[in-house]
Structure 1
Amino acid sequence: MPQIELTPAERREHRANAHHLQPVVMVGSDGLTAGVKKEVDAALSAHGLIKVRVFSDDRATREAIYHELAAELGAAPIQHIGKLLVLWRPLPRKDKALDEDRKPGPRDVKVLKYGRPGQRPEVKQLRVLGNQRLTAGGQLKRAKPKQQSVKKRQGG
């Protein structure tokens, strides 16, 4: 897979987003094994932006691992600082199966009913079905059927 090329502005944005992240993959004394590559690939597919910690003291080895991961996994190298490597790859699109005939299912809603001042509000858990709606007062009502004009009902 070819390595992704980013502009300096994009790289700076990804560096800022990665600042608070913790390393998700650790490269131990065995170096870059097939298992490590597989884990990095899975982490990139799940998160997009990841940090990798390399426990090697040799900077040249860490640099080689950094570029090898980016080249083989089709990722963009974002940052190499100390023993941390930051890699980014765009998340794959997830296609949802859309069914036009499908109606919305039930959803659970918390409703707060306020009483007198200084008293705790009453919390009610309601299940709103597909043919119901929740009013501003916290009541469940059935959805009204769609209105038709008089002329359409007469077939005119």
Structure 2
Amino acid sequence: MKTLTGKQKRFLRSKAHHIKPIFQVGKGGVNENLIIQVKEALEARELIKISILQNCDEDKDEVATSIRKGAKAHLVQLIGSTIVLYKESENQKTIELP
């Protein structure tokens, strides 16, 4: 998996700006079920947002890293309590990176 360039990350951040988070990480933290759902969502959408709730016990950097690794995705941005992830879709590729 190649790392994203700064230009590509800026492009993806601008695309992600209007997206609403589709997952929330709360008290349970990151589990296998969440990782599976994130993988499926990334295959369908390529770019997703995940919000980390106040009651999440884990550190937000750890949450972002474990989801990124589990889903084999790129961490585009971690801003506040929102994670932006990108993974190129195998069957439904819609985003053309610059």
Which structure's residues are more often strand, by fraction?
A: 1
Listed as ranges, the gaps of 5+ residues in structure 2 are 93-98
Q: 2:96 — aligned with what?
A: none
Query: Which of 2, 5, 14 is the aligned partner of 1:16?
Result: 14
Q: 1:92 — aligned with what?
A: 90
* Distance in 2, Cα, partners of 1:50 & 1:4: 19
SS in 2 for 1:6: coil
CA RMSD between the two structures: 2.0
Residues 55 and 44 of structure 1, relative CA distance in 2, 3 Å threshold: same
Deviation at 1:72, TM superposition (A): 2.1
Listed as ranges, the gaps of 5+ residues in structure 1 are 95-156
Residues 25 and 7 of structure 1, relative CA distance in 2, 3 Å threshold: same
Give the number of aligned pairs: 92
Structure 1 outlier segments of 4+, above 2 Å:
none
TM-score w.r.t. the length of structure 1 is 0.54
SS in 1 for 2:37: helix
Q: 2:29 — aligned with what?
A: 31
Instruction: Indicate conservation of the 8 Å contact 2:27/2:55, yes or no.
Output: no
Query: Identity percentage over the alignment?
Result: 26
Could you say which structure has the greater relative contact order, defined with CA pairs below 8 angstroms and 6 or more residues apart? Answer: 2
